Amino acid sequence: MARTTTSRSPSGHAHRSTSSAGPGSGPTTGGASVLRAARAVVDGREVGVSLVLEDGRIAAVRAYDAEIAAGLPVTRLAADEVLLPGVVDTHVHVNEPGRTEWEGFASATRAAAAGGVTTIVDMPLNCVPPTVDVASLDAKRAAARGQCYVDVGFWGGAVPGNTSDLRPLHDEGVFGFKCFLVASGVEEFPPLGTSELRGVLAETATLDAMVIVHAEDEASIEAAPPPDGPVFADFVASRPPSAERRAIHDVLTAARATGARVHVLHLSDAGSLPMLRAAMDDHVRVSVETCPHYLTFEAESVPDGATELKCCPPIRDRANREALWEGLAAGTIGTVVTDHSPCTVDLKALDSGDFGLAWGGVAALQVGLPAVWTEARRRGHSLVDVVAWMATGPADLVGLTDRGRIAVGAVADFAVLAPEESFTVDAARLHHRNPLSAYAGRTLTGAVRRTVLRGAPIDLAAPPRGELLRRGAS
C-alpha cells in the first residue's frame, strides 16, 4: 500500500507525496530504488519519468509508466511537483574560517539544501585566511569537513604576488581562480592591476584553468561621485556602467592576448552584452553570469536607505534588467548564480541607511531558485530554461558534467519544486546565519519541497552528508 507523508514547504503550507516503501524509506544512497515523477526536466524537455537510482547515481531513465523490476522501493512525486536536477551554485561566499559570524559551512549548506541547491563552489575571500595558497585551502577544507549538508567545491584566489601559488592550488583541485580589478572590500584580498591580470592569465592559460573576474574598473569608480548617504540613486551613480564596460574590455583584451579562459562574474551592466557577444563570436574564451537580484529588482523601486539591496556592481534600472533577460534568452549570459554574500546585521548599517557605510552583498542562497522562476515565468520562460541557467550551465562551467542534469550516470541530486505554490519570504525563517534578506516580505512562486543528495532526501535534523569536491574528481 502506498504510504502518504506530510511535510512543509518554505511557505509553511503542508504538502503530500506517496511512497510504496516502508516507514522512513525513500531513495537511499545504497541499493536500488525507483523515483517516479509525472513532470521532470530531462534533456531539455519536461516529461514524465521513472528513474532507477543505485549507489547515489541514476542507473536508468525510463518512461513514467514503465514497468520496473518488482521489489524495488518506489517514491512518487505529488501531482503538483516537478523533479529538477539539483541547483549548482558556483558563486557562494561561505566566509569560514575567520568570519564565521557572517556565515559558515553549516548554515550556508543548510540554506542551500532548503533552496534546492545540491552543490556549491565557495569563493576564496571574506574568509581568513583567503584561499590564495595550498595552506589556506587546507584550512578551508578542514573548517568545512563534517559540516556540509550539500557538496562543496572551492575556488582559489589570484592576488598580487601569488602567481607561483596558482599551479599548486590547481593541482590540489580548485575549480579556478577569482580576482578583482577593484578593491574587494577586505584588505587581505587586494585587486590585480592590468599587468598583473595579464601575468595571471598567461599562467592559467598553461593550466587551461579558468579565471573568474569581478570586473569593475577602479579608476572609473574613483572618478565617480562618492556613495555616501541613504539615496539609492547616488549609490548607483557611484559605480557607473562605464566601470563595468572598461574592466570587461580589459579582461577581453588580456584573454585575446593570452588565450586564457575567463568568466565575467555577476554582470550588472547590460550595455556590456554586445562587447561580450562579439568576443564570443571571435572565439575569445569568455563566459558570463548574472544573479537573481539583477533579474528581479530595479533601481527605480529600491527605497532610499534599503541597504539590504546594496551590492557591487549595483542593481540598475528597469530597462537594464529587461536587457539582461534578453541576454539570457540569447545565450550571451549562460548562468545564473546567487553571489550569496552575507554579513552580520550591523554591517548593513540599517540604522542610518548609509550606502557608503553598508557592506555590499545580497544573501540569497536559499531563495535563488524561486526568485528566478518567479521572474522567468512572467516573461514566458519555462523550467527547462531555469534548469539550463541554474543547474546544467553552472555544472558544465566548472567541469561537473555529471551534475545539473537528469541522465544515466549522473549523480542523483534533485530539487522537488512545486512551481505554482507561492510563499512570502520571512528572513527570520531562512537558514542563513543572519536574518537579512533583500527578498524579505516579497512573494515568490515556486516552493522547494525536498532536496535530494545522491539519491536520499536531505534531512536537516540528521548528520550532514555533503562531500568536499576537487576539480576533475568524479
Q: Give the confidence band of 474 by pLDDT, cuts at 50, 70, 90.
A: low
Same domain? 75 vs 97: no
CATH, residue 165: 3.20.20.140
Question: Cβ neighbours of residue 314 under 8 Å, at least 6 residues apart?
Answer: 235, 236, 239, 268, 299
Torsion of CA 255, 237, 353, 126, to 10 degrees: 10
Question: Is a pLDDT exceeding 80 seen at residue 26?
Answer: no
For 336-395, the DSSP string reads: E---B----GGGGTTTTT-TTTS---B--TTTHHHHHHHHHHHTT--HHHHHIIIIIHHH
Q: Does residue 314 form part of some domain? A: yes
Question: Is a pLDDT exceeding 60 seen at residue 24?
Answer: no
Full-model pTM = 0.94
Compute the distance between CA of residue 26 and CA of residue 28 in angstroms, rounded to an integer: 6
Tell me the per-residue pLDDT of 1-12, one tens digit each, with 9 for 90 and over: 233 333 333 333
Predicted pLDDT at 311: 98
Predicted pLDDT at 7: 36
Q: Find, among 354, 377, 350, 372, the residue nearest to 439 by Cα.
A: 372
Tell me the per-residue pLDDT of 371-382, one tens digit each, with 9 for 90 and over: 999 999 999 999
Helix or strand (DSSP H, E) at 245: helix 241-258
Q: Give the confidence band of 31 by pLDDT, cuts at 50, 70, 90.
A: confident
Tell me what percent of the residues of the chain surpass a pLDDT of 90: 92
Q: Mean pLDDT throughout 136-160? A: 98
Burial zone of 410 (CB within 10 Å; 0-12 exposed, 13-18 middle, 19+ buried): buried
Question: Is a pLDDT exceeding 90 seen at residue 137?
Answer: yes
Tell me the per-residue pLDDT of 345-371, one tens digit each, with 9 for 90 and over: 999 999 999 999 999 999 999 999 999
Tell me the per-residue pLDDT of 39-95, one tens digit each, with 9 for 90 and over: 999 999 999 999 999 999 999 999 999 999 888 999 999 999 999 999 999 999 999
Same domain? 308 vs 278: yes
Compute the distance between CA of residue 447 and CA of residue 70 in angstroms, rounded to an integer: 33
Q: Find, among 214, 94, 208, the residue nearest to 154 by Cα.
A: 94
Same domain? 179 vs 244: yes
CATH, residue 416: 2.30.40.10
Tell me the per-residue pLDDT of 427-457, one tens digit each, with 9 for 90 and over: 999 999 999 999 999 999 999 999 999 999 9
Tell me the per-residue pLDDT of 256-275, one tens digit each, with 9 for 90 and over: 999 999 999 999 999 999 99
Q: Does residue 403 form part of some domain? A: no
Same domain? 167 vs 222: yes
Same domain? 38 vs 142: no
Question: Cβ neighbours of residue 191 under 8 Å, at least 6 residues apart?
Answer: 179, 180, 181, 182, 183, 184, 218
Question: Is a pLDDT exceeding 50 seen at residue 20?
Answer: no
Predicted pLDDT at 473: 76
Question: Is a pLDDT exceeding 50 seen at residue 458?
Answer: yes
Strands 45-54 and 57-63: antiparallel
Q: Find, among 197, 458, 296, the residue nearest to 467 by Cα.
A: 458
Same domain? 193 vs 318: yes
Residue 44's CB is within 10 A of a number of other CB atoms, namely: 11
Same domain? 32 vs 109: no
Could you give the maximum distance between any two Cα atoms of the chain, in Å?
71
Compute the distance between CA of residue 174 and CA of residue 90 in angstroms, rounded to an integer: 12
Residue 232 contacts residue 299 (beta carbons within 8 Å): yes
Compute the distance between CA of residue 406 and CA of residue 417 in angstroms, rounded to an integer: 15
